[in-house]
Amino acid sequence: MKGHPAAFVLAAAAVIGVVGIVIQVLLTRELLVVFQGNEFTIGIVMANWLLLEAAGALSARFGRSSRTHQWFLLALALSVLSLPLSLYLARSLRWFLGVGPALSLDLGQMAVGSFLALAPACITHGACFTFACRAYNRLAAGGKELAGRVYVWETVGTLVGAVLLTGVLALRWPAFTITAWLAATAAAAVVLAAFALVSTGLRRRWLAVGLVLLLMAVAAVPGSWVARLQEQTLALHWQGRDVLFHEDSYYGSITAMETREQQMIYYDGSPSLIIPDPDLERLETTAHVSLLFHQEPRDILLVSGGAGGMLQEIQKHPMDTLDYVELDPALLTAAARLDAPLVRQELDDPRLRTIPKDGRLFVSSTDRVYDAVILHVGEPSTLQTNRLYTQEFFSQIKERLRPGGLLALTLPGSSSHLGHELLRLNRSMYRTLDSVFSHVRILPGDINVYLASSDHGLHGVGPDEMTARLRERDLETVLVTESYLDYRLDDDRWSRFQDKISDVSGTRANTDFNPAAVYYTLGHWGAMFSPQLQRIMSALDAMGMYQWLAVFSFLLAAAVLWLWVQRRGGKPKGVQHWTIYGAVACAVITTGMAGMVLDLVILFAFQSLHGYVYQAMALLIALFMAGAAVGAWWSGRTAEGKQTIGRLAAVDVLLVAMLAVLPQYLRLAAASPVFFMAASVAAGALTGAQFPFAASCLHASGRPSAGGLAYGLDLAGGWAGALISAVFLVPLLGIAHTAWVIAGVKVLSSLLLIGAAVSTAGHFSKGTIR
Amino acid sequence: MRFGRRSWLLLLVSAAIVAGFVLGSDLVPWGPSDPVPENTTSTRVETVDFPWREAMFYEQLADDKVQCNLCFRECVIPEGERGFCRNRENIEGSLFSVVWGRPSAVHVDPIEKEPLHQFLPGTKIYCIGTAGCNFRCSFCHNWTLSQRSVEEIGYYPNSTPREVVNTVKERGVPTISFTYNEPTSAYEYLYDVAKKAQEAGINVVFHSNGSMSPEPLRELLQYVDAVTIDLKGFTERYYNEILGASLEPVLETLKIIREEGVWLEIVNLVVPEENDDPEEIRAMCHWIVENLGTDVPLHFSRFFPNYQMTHAAPTPISTLEGARDVAKQSGIQYVTIGNVPGHPSNSTECPDCGEILIERVHFSVHDVNIENGQCTHCGHEVSGVFQ
């Protein structure tokens, strides 16, 4: 064992990989719950992740090389402590930021908050990896650069971590329990590394440190520590509210709370069930106003939001069957756990068939047909909920409606004044429904009720007929009465609303890959919490794909001009061949951006089509990283000689092709997640392949420390790519056009590279400039 | 000629710029998204199309500054700027209302929605709201109006006081209500509409946060028939932290409305963990009884998550019932619970015999058991305006 100390470093690198991917996914998910944010927030978290990892890697450059092993052990030991610390910070972030659980956070708070929470885990992770490389180089190669092996083992660890998280842990364990296991694994690595790496005198000390940490972590798993931390962070998050229970399900985070006699279930941080006195106006309006429009609704499908009163309202109608599809069975279990008579009663109805399944999956696979389909999903503020509001889903529902059947859904409205942002959301939904159904009717109010049907009968129904049906069905309603129906179906109100909503020019329809409703809902939230940012977004809204491309082209051109001007006043420091230098620098920075955009596009598309990105995220990211490792390994073998710049350009062109075809490929590949995995590997491979080529070219251009420069540029590109695509491009342009904008950017950088290659042909051989 | 590296580069840079501009223009027919036209509603007007009305209750200061004396804030407004409410602008040392004749919301609602429960129950009101507010409530239900300027949200044209009164007469609605946002911030508009409405025999009511200064309030009340005031809480802390305002001016307003003999009703929105302490509610009720008497109707309203408090919990019904009980114990005669459709306390009970005086479900009146201002069951004299 002592004979192969380098092997221990590789084993430790694998542990670092496991820890990295698991904590990344755990923290991302925790932060999203804390922010009550949507999937776009992943971009902000990833951008911060990159920065902090880089900071950790940089910090590792300052240790004296004679003590590399001790620094490595210290970084590993600190990472053991940093894991629960980061989780603790993430969970109690609202308390640290001074924002109560009732208030939402703005974009700035999310950026700062995630930076703070990620800092301990990311910095130590970045430092661990760099020290592992240095330690391995000293041991195995006597200083020769062999960091690639550490990279490979770290990637293997990442893959193992992802498989563990996806397959075994499946996010079902409490986050602190998973973290305790992670910490124990890292502590075990400290113990092993202490055996292998340090001299006898120090070994005892480091062994003691490692063992103590290991014991602490292992003891925390079954003991009360995890529970106590869980309770403490819950208390800090909910700031004094009475939490009944909390659990992380396969799909979301569920917290039950009690205030006096009122019990509530929060799903991913937002209220989803209130008993015993639910929001009756919402329930009665959604259920009865919709169903009274149908002459005789015998078979009804309710998609989501059933338990807690909605089922009961629907069950008041004389019908034959009610199919209730709920994505997360844990939500139903939690509702049942509250043991409220209302929930018990409605779930016991013999006409009810509860289907714990994704609404989309159910609708596309069932052969049943319905008289009415009611969507009670909550606002389309995330890609996960939005997938039940898209053109594609509406088309599937249309296939499942009987003649005369109708689809009903609600969106926020206002009985006093519909703000600009809500108006756009409502217009978008009107446009989307109108593109699928031949008849759409809206009943405006604080809750706008949308009814869509292929049957013209929808328009003929007035308050008198509805009142007659109300009596005929002998419905016991509180709010929905004759006078209420008169009020809701008031012609004057409708015509005023229609004037506003029917002008849909300039409003995007909502589709899977262009989730306009998410953007408009975010706009509505932005107007409440960050009016300034919202004004910027509204201004940018006018920009289409080509305008964005123009902006990037301009930036790229400006960068090249700047280099040219520099060259006239003397070349950039240490650079012998500025053309290569400029073109490669542009290629690296845009590849960093493209890699991140590819990664996010795959994640967002996966969420839009499959809806369980939190389980798949670890695997998709790990496969991307594995792809990058394979790509880097392959190109590293051939990254010398005069062909290098040509190969670099070839990779660039392949990246363009991938960005261009990826959206369509993912759309066609919707049926199988395996295609997403393959896309992740390919995207990673292309991104990774470019790095050694680029470093070699930069080196050849005479730039000292080319690897560091390439790393920095790649990082800057990735960081910008994450932020720009998640905050601006995807919300404004959708998934496909975001990929195409970046493809356009890569076209330009490829042209620069080809130009540089051609113009320097004959000057460039054996890695040096003649 | 040798096509050197410099030429290549220049060519590429030029191509990039040209490509950028060409693609960026609308020359290419295949565009992913059309620009959004801002002016999409018929009511939205970006520029001012008729003179602004000069504001009332302000004084001119040195350097072209003015001090607005309309509400407790007493904003000192430099030339070219607006007050805290976004509605009063200093133009060359004179203060003007920018929302006069420019309502941003107009609807016909049941009067119960106000709520005004003992003022012509079961009738309709012609509701007018403008942009702007002098409070910053985190839970504002109408924030798209109150927390925006008129330029941001647009307005309905043809809404001068004369035009409003004519429309209301034509539609046969008995009452005009200034509501949705804070009417103080549209004072001159409300004042002029109220004067014209009184001449035309139309009632005028308004729903306010109660922060108007005493002098303008007394001036306005001459032309007003009923007022609903939000007494949103009973601590300075709550008013400061959650509403960005102050309690004291509201209490002063309540006393003045009572003194002037205008019909008054009070709403208290009970927000869990913010203003739902029974002792606070008890103190509020004692103050009402001592300073306003026992016959001012008090409505406890259920809070639902809204605006910046979207993730808060709704008020438990027992909290509202507890508040109702405290109010009744304190001697307040008419206490109801709102925003809980179907709750028995939606209805107004007779303080004497306990029978239902006005049976209500949410905003619908189902039965009125009052004749000639008296309970039809026991003859108790019921306060309010019923004819």
Residue A59: predicted pLDDT: 81
Q: How far is A564 from chain B (nearest CA, A)?
A: 9
By the 8 A CB rule, do A389 and A511 touch? no
Cβ B118 vs Cβ B382: under 8 Å: yes
Chain B interface test: which of A255, A313, A416 (most B C-beta within 10 Å): A416
Which of the listed CATH numbers 3.30.365.10, 3.40.50.10420, 3.30.460.10, 3.20.20.70 matches domain B105-375? 3.20.20.70
> Inter-chain contact A417–B144, Cβ cutoff 8 Å?
yes
Environment class of A526 (CB within 10 Å of its CB; exposed 0-12, middle 13-18, buried 19+) = buried
Ordered mean pLDDT values, 10 residues apiece, chain A (770 residues): 69 90 90 84 90 86 74 88 93 87 79 94 90 79 62 87 78 79 88 76 79 83 77 83 84 87 87 90 94 96 95 97 92 90 93 94 95 94 92 97 96 89 94 96 93 88 94 93 88 83 88 93 83 81 88 86 69 65 87 94 92 85 92 80 78 91 83 88 92 80 68 87 91 92 92 80 46
Distance of residue A338 Cα from the nearest chain B Cα, in angstroms = 16
* CATH number, residue A353: 3.40.50.150
Q: Cα Rg for chain B, rounded, in angstroms?
A: 26
Contacts B9 to A, Cβ<8 Å:
560, 564, 579, 755-756, 759
* pLDDT of A569: 61
Domain of residue A350, residue span: 280-526
For residue B19, what pLDDT is reported?
53
For residues A123 and A265, membership in a common domain is answered with no
Q: For B7-13, which contacts have Cβ atoms below 8 Å and span 24 or more sequence positions?
A: B8/A755, B8/A756, B8/A758, B8/A759, B9/A560, B9/A564, B9/A579, B9/A755, B9/A756, B9/A759, B11/A755, B12/A560, B12/A751, B12/A752, B12/A755, B13/A557, B13/A560, B13/A561, B13/A564
Task: Please indicate, yes or no, whether residues A493 and A570 belong to a single structural domain of this protein.
Answer: no
Measured at the CA of A19, the angle between CA A13 and CA A25, to 5 degrees, comes to: 135
Across the interface, whether the CB atoms of B24 and A561 are under 8 A apart is answered no
Q: Which residues of B fall within a CB distance of 8 Å from A542?
A: 35-36
Q: Please check whether residue B351 is in contact with residue B377, taking contact to mean a CB–CB distance below 8 angstroms.
A: no
H or E, element range at B287 = helix B278-292
State the pTM of this model.
0.86
Closest-CA distance of chain B to residue A505, Å: 7
Q: Which residue has the tokens 């956070």?
A: A105
Domain locations in chain B? 53-97, 105-375
Alpha-carbon radius of gyration of chain A: 29
Interface test with A, best of B144, B179, B207, B345 (most A CBs within 10 A): B144
- Three-state DSSP string of A35-88: HCCCCCHHHHHHHHHHHHHHHHHHHCCCCCHHHHHHHHHHHHHHHHHHHHHHHH
Angle at A592 between CA A707 and CA A575, to 5 degrees: 40
- Strands A768-769 and A764-765 turn out to be antiparallel
**Contact check, Cβ <8 Å, B32/A733:** yes
Q: Which residues are paired to B263 by β-bridges?
A: B226
Nearest CA in chain B to A546: B24
Q: Element (H or E) spanning A440, and its range?
A: strand A439-443
Q: B107, A493: Cβ pair inside 8 Å?
A: yes
CB atoms B32 and A527 under 8 Å? no
- Say if A201 falls within a structural domain: yes
pLDDT recorded at residue B46: 41
Q: What is the mean pLDDT of chain B?
A: 88
- Domain membership flag for residue A531: no
Instruction: Collect contacts of A73-76 with beta carbons under 8 A, ≥24 apart.
Output: A73/A190, A73/A193, A73/A194, A73/A197, A73/A198, A73/A206, A73/A209, A73/A210, A75/A124, A75/A127, A75/A128, A75/A131, A76/A12, A76/A16, A76/A128, A76/A186, A76/A189, A76/A190, A76/A193
Q: Between chains, do A481 and B361 touch, taking CB under 8 Å as contact?
A: yes
ipTM of the predicted structure?
Answer: 0.80
The predicted structure's pLDDT at residue B121: 97
Query: Which chain A residue's Cα is nearest to B4?
Result: A759
* pLDDT tens-digit series, residues B317-359: 999 999 999 999 999 999 999 999 999 999 999 999 999 999 9
CATH number at residue A650: 1.20.1250.20
The predicted pLDDT at position B48 comes to: 47
Distance CA A557, CA A563 (A): 10
Q: Are residues A561 and A477 in the same domain?
A: no
How many CA atoms, within 13 angstroms, populate the side-chain half-sphere of residue B227?
32
Inter-chain residue contact A550 with B23, CB threshold 8 Å: yes
Q: Hey, are the CB atoms on B20 and A261 less than 8 Å from each other?
A: no
Task: Test A505 with B37 for CB contact under 8 angstroms.
Answer: yes
* Option in B25, B42, B305 nearest A499 (CB): B42
Residue A472 is which amino acid? E
Give B360→chain A minimum CA distance, Å: 11
Range list of β-strands (E), A241-384: 242-248, 253-259, 262-267, 270-275, 299-303, 321-325, 352-355, 370-375
**Residue B35 pLDDT > 50, yes or no?**
no
Cβ–Cβ gap B362/A737 under 8 Å: no
User: In this structure, what CATH number is given to the domain that contains residue A234?
Assistant: 1.20.1250
Residues A125 and A249 reside in one and the same domain: no
The one-letter amino acid at B111: I
- At A765 the pLDDT is 45
The answer to whether residue A380 is domain-embedded is yes
Q: Which residue of B has its CA nearest to A760?
A: B5
Task: Indicate yes or no: CB of B12 within 8 angstroms of CB of A257.
Answer: no
Distance from CA of A541 to the nearest CA of B (A): 7
pLDDT exceeds 60 at position B5: no
As a whole number of angstroms, the distance between CA B191 and CA B54 comes to: 13
Residue A241 identity (one-letter amino acid):
R
Tokens standing for A222? Answer: 């079954």
Q: Are residues A215 and A299 in the same domain?
A: no
Q: Which residues of A444-468 are buried (b: 16+ CB within 10 A; e: fewer)?
A: bbebbbbbbbbbeebeebebeebbe
Domain count for chain A, please give it.
Answer: 4
CB contact under 8 A, B109 and A550: no
> CA–CA separation, B300 vs B234, rounded Å?
13
Task: Please indicate, yes or no, whether residues A182 and A95 belong to a single structural domain of this protein.
Answer: yes
Euclidean distance between CA atoms A291 and A309, whole angstroms: 16
CA distance to partner chain B, nearest, from residue A733 (Å): 8
Q: Is A574 among the domain residues?
A: yes
Nearest residue in B to A734, CA atom: B32
**For B75-128, how does the pLDDT look when each residue is reduced to its tens digit (9 = 90+)?**
999 999 999 999 999 999 999 999 999 999 999 999 999 999 999 999 999 999
What is the structure's pLDDT at A64? 67
Which chain B residues are closer than 8 Å to A103 by Cβ? 138, 308-309, 311
Share of chain B above pLDDT 70, in %: 87
Q: Is A79 in the same domain as A173?
A: yes
pLDDT at B13: 58
Pick the last residue of a domain from A501, A526, A551: A526
Of B13, B21, B31, nearest to A560 by CB-CB distance is B13
Residues A134 and A190 in one domain: yes
Q: Is the dihedral angle over the CA atoms A631, A635, A636, A637 positive or is it negative?
A: positive
- Other CB atoms within a 10 A radius of the CB of residue B255 amount to 12
| Size of chain B in residues | 387
Residues of A within 8 A of B207 (CB-CB) are none
Q: What is the pLDDT of residue A100?
A: 76
At B32 the pLDDT is 33
List CB contacts (< 8 A) between B340 and chain A. Answer: 277, 280
More confident residue, A62 or B387: B387
Q: Which chain A positions have a beta carbon within 8 Å of B127's beta carbon? A: 416
Would the CB atoms of B17 and A414 count as touching at under 8 Å?
A: no
User: Are B311 and A102 an interchain contact pair (Cβ–Cβ within 8 Å)?
Assistant: yes
Amino acid at B297: P
Same structural domain, A83 and A113 = yes
| Partners of residue A274 in chain B, C-beta under 8 Å | 313-314
In a shared domain, residues A249 and A219: no
Question: Is residue B332 a contact partner of residue B289, using CB atoms and an 8 Å limit?
Answer: yes
Task: Give chain B positions within 8 Å (CB) of A284.
Answer: 341
Is there a contact between B41 and A500 if contact means CB atoms under 8 Å apart? Answer: yes
Q: What share of chain A is helix, strand, coil (3-state, %, to 5)?
A: 70, 10, 25
pLDDT interval class at B375 (50, 70, 90): very high
